[in-house]
Amino acid sequence: MISRSTIDQVYETARLEEVIGEYVTLKKSGANFKGLSPFSQERTPSFMVSPVKQIWKDFSSGKGGNVIAFLMEHEHFTYPEAIRYLAKKYNIEIEETEESPEEKQIKDTKESMFLVAQYAAGFFEKNLWETEAGKSIGLTYFKERGFKDETLKKFALGYSPDSYDALSKQAQKDGYKLEFLEKTGLVIVNENRQVDRFRGRVIFPIRSMSGRVQGFGGRILSQNTKTAKYLNSPESEIYHKSKALYGIYESKQTIAKDNVCYLVEGYTDVIQMHQSGITNVVSSSGTALTVDQIRMINRLTSDIVVLFDGDAAGLRASLRGIDLILEQGMNVKVCSFPEGEDPDSFAKNHNTDEIKTFLEEKAKDFIQFKASLLSDEGKNDPIRKAETIREIVESISKIPDVIKQEIYIQNCAEIMQISEDALFSALAQINQKNKQKESKKLVPNEKVPLVKKITDSTAKVNRVFELEKQIISILLTYGNQELNFEEIILKSNEEGELIQESQNISAKVYEKIFLDLQQDEIELSQDTFKKLFYQLIEFYQSDQGDLNLEKIMQTDDLAQNEIITDLVMREEQHQLHDWEKRNVFVKEKGSEVVQLVSETILSMRRYLIDQKIAELQMETKEQEKNQDTLQDIISYQQLKKVLSNKLNRVI
């Protein structure tokens, strides 16, 4: 694991505006920078960077955080990958913490395999450009496919010499161990003989989301019928075919920005589409689509368009696998190319605008496409038509969203010329059958725990959320300020009525909030708010002075960092729109802080009293009238009245 001292050094050294400036054109805006959002299509800047606070906020998408969060959102790095990227950028030596022998062994093995894979990719690429065989065989093949030099280099395409051990010999000569060449599947070791797996093939490196080479695809160019035309790396500790997508590294930014992913079958489909300007394309490399691959795409977008060639024979079989996409709650469209065309050939013969227009006009909703296709097959056969309808409803049953299910049922009823009632009935039967299958998986006689019914309305839940959010906002902005507060003291008079007295006290904002909540035994209900609340209180209690946002945000908890950024940058939003030029002036920070703190705490108390009164009233309905319970309700009503008067509200 990366040591804490290395992580601290990375945070201290990395400059947010420098890192983001490599991806976004930033312009000065007061003390901050602004630019167009890299996460959405927009014409008016809504992306704000604060060099002083070292945080960023994208007001169009709601994303925000520190430098690590940006790399995790934009480049889709993991937390350790983002740390390593910045350490390399700023020439920081990475210090590793002590690991168990087993952990170290696993990590060292995987790292060695990645290094060997990267070396092999460089070896193959060098052979393509610098050897006679590479140029005459490999480069000629790629040129015949219409690939330009910059495209070949973008995908790091290469050529493996038609020799039994060219890679094996050179790699060991350069210090790479045969053990790891074998583990990655680059070299096959049989009876002390070493054979290069991809000899005599053009090479397609397969990269992970973060850009590391994890495997290879190879196409043979000779007419040897005894050898497979296409060959992939075998399963290994760094390459799992079911979890890999060809082109994901090269396409991830466009997929996230355009909010759609085009899914094709082969390597050359991806490459040709990219060369033609469609850069949000990936391939499952000829294998059946898996849940892991779908989830990888779902990290970037919820919209997939599956591109098929004009060969209808393979289309029918391929449609079955796409139900998996629907199960993940994603939106699926299908686009079929004209007969005799595939994504590769179509992209090669059309310009970017023509391809985009074709995809926009011809992409059909998956369910509608399937209904149209299958209805043609069973048009004159009642039995086949019935089977077709059931297949379509099976697909609809995969969709988690019941509203979408109903819309698709309506559309399919129209296409198949059958009543909606019949389709809904079929859907109910399928759902019932699926439930029975699931119930059989449970342990016999297993008791399913009851789920406590939530009685709070959405409005109440939102009210608590907003109050807790306000508390965190106050602590972030004013936590260490010392102010004079009016403290309410409640007493009972001779008639038993609550009366209030007040006195002025001097306290820091965080002390006032913490003590008031402790006194009322109030715990924040939202987990992220609760965790952040105690972090902030601990920071202020340690007497470290004003809040150090960078220190608080040195975590891989993106949800927490996004909340902090949202609250801190909220007051900077007016800079994006130059409100001052329109004679709209924002209140100066810190104005009416005492009132803000007092109202927030009183509102929280009043809300909790409302809840308590409701609980007590429920008790009186469920049991015989209890004088103690009624007296408690009266007391709480009196307390509520005092708080409401203090808040200048009418009950």
Between helix 248-258 and helix 267-275 the angle, nearest 10°, is 60
CB-count burial class (<10 Å; 0-12, 13-18, 19+) for 407: middle
Token output for 367: 């369910």
- Residues, the chain: 651
Q: How far apart are CA 220 and CA 199, in angstroms?
A: 8
Domains detected in the chain: 4-89 (3.90.580.10), 101-239 (3.90.980.10), 242-362 (3.40.1360.10), 365-441 (1.20.50.20), 458-576+587-646 (no CATH)
Strands 364-365 and 303-308: unpaired
Q: How many CB atoms sit inside 10 A of residue 622's CB?
A: 6
In the prediction, which pLDDT does 376 show? 64
Question: Is 251 in contact with 282 (CB distance < 8 Å)?
Answer: yes
Question: Is 558 in contact with 494 (CB distance < 8 Å)?
Answer: no
> Of all helices (H) and strands (E), which one includes residue 217?
strand 213-220
Instruction: Please work out, in degrees rounded to the nearest 5, the angle formed at the alpha carbon of residue 176 by the alpha carbons of 154 and 218.
Output: 40
Instruction: Please work out, in degrees rounded to the nearest 5, the angle formed at the alpha carbon of residue 361 by the alpha carbons of 359 and 364.
Output: 85
In the prediction, which pLDDT does 627 show? 62
Question: Is 619 in contact with 626 (CB distance < 8 Å)?
Answer: yes
Between helix 458-478 and helix 527-541 the angle, nearest 10°, is 20
Q: Provide the β-strand partners of residue 37.
A: none
DSSP per position, 26-76: -EEETTEEEE--SSS--SS--EEEETTTTEEEETTT--EE-HHHHHHHHS-
- Phi/psi at 67 (nearest 5 deg)? -65, -40
Q: How far apart are CA 475 and CA 343, in angstroms?
A: 55
pLDDT means per 10 residues in the chain (651 residues)? Answer: 83 88 86 85 84 84 87 84 90 76 72 93 95 94 94 96 92 93 92 89 92 92 76 91 91 85 93 95 83 84 84 60 82 87 91 93 83 66 80 85 86 83 87 69 40 38 77 84 73 59 76 78 80 82 70 77 81 53 44 77 76 69 61 62 55 36
- Phi/psi at 247 (nearest 5 deg)? 95, 0
The label of the residue with tokens 């309905």 reads 621
Residue 402 CA neighbour count, 13 Å, CB half? 3
- Phi/psi at 597 (nearest 5 deg)? -65, -50
Tens digits of residue pLDDT in 462-496? 677 888 888 888 888 888 888 887 776 655 556 65
- The reported pTM is 0.62
